[in-house]
A and B are shown apart, each in its own frame.
Chain A
Amino acid sequence: QKEVEQDPGPLSVPEGAIVSLNCTYSNSAFQYFMWYRQYSRKGPELLMYTYSSGNKEDGRFTAQVDKSSKYISLFIRDSQPSDSATYLCAMTLGGSYIPTFGRGTSLIVHP
């Protein structure tokens, strides 16, 4: 079992839909949780960063962490074709700066 599990998709949704992207993990010691967005043939860019459980909102994006279930989510409201990309979750142990990445979920938002 991999430490971080992420469904590779692809996930295809119509423009305007609410998108839910998820990761599960097995190591309860993870404390920092991140979401990266990667466009085709580009490097990932950091979207959201959260510490421990709870929600964090930034515009159309909401990151949610449920440590009791070892489950994190990224919600995208009013999805746009420009949101079409691969979304990678990542998490680190406290005191470490080397994240463990999920495999990424490919999202396609069609007009």
Chain B
Amino acid sequence: DGGITQSPKYLFRKEGQNVTLSCEQNLNHDAMYWYRQDPGQGLRLIYYSQIVNDFQKGDIAEGYSVSREKKESFPLTVTSAQKNPTAFYLCASSIEGLGGSGYTFGSGTRLTVV
């Protein structure tokens, strides 16, 4: 079955550590996205990529980095510069140019700083 796989489901980070969240899709979608979800704040866009080897900052990119070396993969690194990284992280993909109607989300990674 086609879909998006995020791993791990739960992740714990110590202060000062970088951690990488994995996102893989087999939907042959061009565009991929990373969102952060906090209680009461909805979804906030971190980074997005429309094509391999290209990506753009979203609304809250500070303290995060991404890469898009393959169409299927869009990993997110939460760096030590991100001061409040505890959140639920969602990866999504879409067929470019469909006005957001083709969004498919992964099941999310819950990151906790310990």
**Which residues in A have some Cβ–Cβ distance to B below 8 Å?**
6, 8, 31-32, 34, 36, 41-46, 49, 51, 88, 90-92, 94-99, 101-104
Contact check, B107 vs A42: say whether CB atoms are below 8 A apart: yes
Q: Which residue of the partner chain, among A34, A43, A45, A90, contacts B108 with CB atoms under 8 Å?
A: A43
When the two chains form their complex, are residues A49 and B43 in contact, meaning their CB atoms are under 8 A apart? no
- Decide: A49 near B106, CB < 8 A? Known: A43-B90, A88-B42: no
Q: Which residues of B contact A (CB under 8 A)?
A: 4, 6, 31, 33, 40-43, 45, 48, 88, 90, 92, 94, 96-108, 110
* In contact, A96 and B99 (Cβ under 8 angstroms): yes
B48–A98 CB distance below 8 A? yes
**A101–B43 contact, CB under 8 A?**
yes
The one of A6, A43, A46, A103 in contact with B101, judged by C-beta atoms closer than 8 angstroms, is A46
Name 7 interchain pairs, CB-CB below 8 A, sorted by A: A41-B88, A42-B107, A43-B106, A44-B43, A46-B103, A92-B100, A104-B42
The 5 closest A-B pairs by CB, nearest first: A43-B105, A32-B99, A99-B100, A103-B42, A92-B100
Task: Give the residue of B33, B100, B104 whose beta carbon is less than 8 angstroms from that of A32.
Answer: B100
Contact between chains at B40 and A34 (CB < 8 Å): no
The listed residue (A8, A90, A94) touching B40 by CB distance below 8 A is A8
A-B contacts counted at CB < 8 A amount to: 66
Bound-state CA distance A91–B90 (Å) is 18
- A45 close to B45 (CB less than 8 A): no
Nearest CB in chain B to that of A99: its residue: B100
**Which residue of A has the minimal Cβ distance to B42?**
A103
List residues of chain B with CB within 8 A of the CB of A90: 100, 103
Contact B94 A97 (CB under 8 A): yes
CA distance A46 to B45 in the complex (A): 17
Known: A41-B108, A42-B107. A97 touches B42 (CB 8 A): no
